[in-house]
């Protein structure tokens, strides 16, 4: 059985305050996108996990942790082989690890016909990470709290995107830890943008761009391209995405970016997923 694990972009992200539990209170509008990892699920004599990327193949991978949580909840024997094929880059702010975990919970629930409710799956997901509950349903949603409170939302239409990412990633812990110190910094770089009936803004850009100046340069470069309606960092980075205007060839902009910014840039042209079925 094959389960897709879609990436996401944050269309806006507001950090409201630091909570007593150490997390940050946020409000964000998230959309799943067509870029995705794939998780193959097969019967086996024990729990096996395989991934083509050696650094992600350990027992602490979120896929393994999600599988263990599922088997502990259902009291089933952990006899399954999980093979993860990665396309979502690591450390990009695109939610790859969280999406993989959610795909594991979804897929195992179907594979073993366990019939765990969405509420139960959400509870397991929240224990794995703040973003994981969003990915269970893979529909546009507003997320609040530390990200685990998910309310379905909608977009008027699918958006065409160009994702760009340098070779380095950004630790989300650092981005949030520096938020308080940098939130008063004034710059037109961080002003909200209006495009496609959405206000695009990300409060984590300040603390991230302060350290990783090249990301600020990427965003500035994208914003002045005539084919781009808005540009924003997704989550805590390091991916910057451009919202493309109608009838634009994103591949050409990507090649221009590699020529003018960094020849080693990773890039992907994709779309937001507007209306998959929400299971409630």
- Give catalytic residue positions: 8, 131
Choose among 145, 165, 161, 209: nearest CA to 33. Answer: 161
Q: How far is CA 121 from the centre of its chain?
A: 19
Choose among 31, 9, 32: nearest CA to 237. Answer: 9
DSSP 46-114: SEEEEESSGGG-STTSHHHHHHHHHHHHHT----EEEEEE--SPTTSSS-HHHHHHHHHHHHHHHHTT-
Name every residue whose Cβ is closer than 8 Å to that of residue 113 and which is 6 or more positions away in sequence.
none
Burial 193-222 (b: 16+ CB within 10 A, else e): beeeebebbbbbbbbbbeebeebbebbebb
């Amino acid at each position: 059985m094959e389960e897709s694990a879609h990436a996401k972009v944050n269309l806006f992200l507001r950090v409201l305050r630091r909570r007593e539990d150490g997390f940050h209170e946020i409000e964000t509008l998230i959309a799943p996108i067509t870029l995705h990892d794939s998780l193959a699920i097969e019967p086996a004599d024990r729990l096996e996990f395989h991934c083509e990327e050696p650094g992600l193949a350990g027992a602490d991978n979120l896929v393994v942790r999600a599988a263990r949580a599922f088997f502990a909840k259902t009291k089933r024997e952990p006899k399954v082989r999980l093979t993860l094929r990665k396309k979502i880059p690591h450390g990009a702010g695109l939610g790859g690890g969280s999406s993989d975990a959610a795909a594991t919970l979804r897929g195992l629930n179907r594979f073993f016909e366990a019939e765990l409710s969405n509420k139960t799956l959400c509870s397991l997901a929240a224990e794995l990470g703040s973003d994981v509950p969003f990915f269970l349903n893979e529909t546009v949603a507003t997320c609040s709290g530390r990200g685990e409170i998910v309310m379905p939302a909608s977009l008027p239409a699918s958006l065409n995107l160009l994702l760009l990412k340098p070779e380095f990633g950004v630790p989300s812990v650092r981005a949030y830890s520096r938020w308080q110190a940098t939130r008063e910094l004034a710059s037109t770089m961080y002003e909200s943008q209006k495009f496609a009936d959405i206000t695009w803004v990300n409060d984590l850009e300040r603390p991230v761009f302060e350290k990783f100046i090249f990301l600020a340069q990427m965003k500035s470069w994208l914003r002045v391209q005539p084919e781009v309606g808005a540009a924003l960092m997704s989550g805590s980075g390091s991916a910057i995405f451009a919202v493309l205007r109608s009838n634009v060839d994103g591949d050409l902009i990507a090649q221009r970016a590699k020529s003018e910014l960094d020849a080693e840039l990773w890039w992907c042209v994709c779309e937001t997923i507007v209306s998959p079925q929400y299971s409630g």
